[in-house]
Amino acid sequence: MAAGTAQLAQADGDAPDEIKNLFKVGFWRAWQRTAKLKNGMSLGWFIRKPHTFFSPNYHPLAEGSTAQALAYINASQGVIANALSD
């Protein structure tokens, strides 16, 4: 998960250089800031939740709904701002 986030940051031309490297403190500080703003999962969440995903009873449909996800995305300030800027 962290490696994928670092790859996304590297692809983002607007992202500051200090958050583009997984092995730099800036990356982890940015991750922590994002979690505190409730815009992403905290590192603690990743420590507590793996048993859910590796359970023999795991099924993605029990984790959430597409309708709920779409409602969240459509209410996102970033999505709204992007739509207004076009």
d(CA 64, CA 44): 20
Question: Can you give the residue range of the structural domain that contains 8?
Answer: 2-85
The tens digit of pLDDT for each residue in 1-30 reads 677 777 877 888 787 888 788 788 888 888
Which residues, including other chains, have CB under 8 Å from residue 58's CB and lie 6 or more apart? 52
The tens digit of pLDDT for each residue in 27-82 reads 888 888 888 998 888 888 878 887 877 888 888 777 778 888 899 888 888 888 88
Record the tokens describing residue 43, joined without a space. 């590192």
Amino acid at 16: P
Counting the structural domains of the chain, the total is 1
d(CA 25, CA 18): 8
pTM of the model: 0.49
Q: Is residue 70 within 8 Å of 59, Cβ to Cβ?
A: no
Record the tokens describing residue 46, joined without a space. 């990743």
